[in-house]
Chain A
């Protein structure tokens, strides 16, 4: 029983770490692209700095969404999932 609960807790922690780690790759690359292209645009047309910057921040925030989803799942895995899974296990053993 203790071993089973330990496996559940460990797997939840590993899953949360993997979820956050892999989930952060995509937004990182996407935001990097956005900022790089914004820098290029500002370099080409310095007078359009204001418009480019505000559009870039909007785009960054939107491309961040998938990272936020993985964050939410990681938080669920840490705070909500263990007790749920342990309850399921206890009910199954009964």
Chain B
């Protein structure tokens, strides 16, 4: 049996390491943000600015939060895979196997067998995006509502798409721009650039609009409660009657549902774009030609 003392101590270390980064982010936010009155919608706080030749190198709240999310996910994965065995001894192994099977099935369904090695990448993007959006449940600044973070992911995905398009040959890639007729060239280039832009803006806009609406609604509810209770004496007049609980219900949609939805959509579009840009026929032809050339040279 594996559940001896050493095993349990390692488990506890993993759980503590999962919670520590989020606690660090909360402490950082409490220390740097003075309590403010009224509504305020602001971007990520900039902690550090290092002068660089072209542009200042900035370390902002969203970067630190996303790094903390990375650490949390890392230890979460270690915790889930701790104590795997052929005979299932722990409950968490069922959950881990469920995730792996679901993602493998999703990849096979949407990308085909050639891309079956893509499951780790896709689940990494999905988990990073979902956990980043869910960070707003801890009243932290969600990194996904910063265009710089999501834009970085979109550029990564765009590089992958272009790599798989180039696998069919450079000439084939360039020829794809002039289809169906040559006049479509500028439109095709525009469409190529629009892919990462729309990926980034969709994710960023959805998360940001959720937080903006949450702030507006809580401000409006504050106004309503001060209007209703204004006849009461003393501190009772400033009691936030309607601000208790009602914004939390909206947060289930805007933070939990919308965040997970956008993570799924980002991963889904990544899969579809990568497998859609890959021309299997041209790739096979090119591979055959290369093999024949190698044979001739021998």
Contacts and interface: CB of A to CB of B under 8 A. Distances in A.
A57 interface: yes
Nearest to A68: B205
A65 B261 contact: no
A68 B261 contact: no
Interface in A47-67: 57-58, 61-62, 64-65
B265 A65 contact: no
Interface residues of A, number: 12
B265 A61 contact: yes
A61 B209 CA distance: 14
A5 interface: no
A13 B38 CA distance: 20
B201 A68 contact: yes
B265 A72 contact: no
A69 B147 CA distance: 13
B206 interface: yes
Given A57-B261, A71-B209, A65 B268 contact: no
B213 to A, nearest CB: 10
Q: Is the interface of B mostly helix, strand, loop or mixed?
A: helix
A68 B265 contact: no
B280 to A, nearest CB: 23
A27 B268 CA distance: 20
A68 B206 contact: yes
A61 B202 CA distance: 8
Interface residues of B, number: 15
A9 interface: no
B198 interface: yes
Contacts, number: 32
Q: Is the interface of A mostly helix, strand, loop or mixed?
A: helix
Contacts of A61: 202, 261-262, 265
Contacts of B41: 79
A69 B201 contact: yes
B261 A71 contact: no
Given A58-B268, A65-B198, A72 B205 contact: yes
Contact of B202 (A57, A64, A75, A79): A64
Interface of B: 41, 198, 201-202, 204-206, 208-209, 212, 261-262, 265, 268-269
Interface of A: 57-58, 61-62, 64-65, 68-69, 71-72, 75, 79
24 contacts: A57-B261, A57-B265, A58-B265, A61-B202, A61-B261, A61-B262, A61-B265, A62-B265, A62-B269, A64-B202, A64-B206, A65-B198, A65-B202, A68-B201, A68-B202, A68-B206, A69-B201, A69-B205, A71-B205, A71-B208, A72-B204, A75-B208, A75-B212, A79-B41
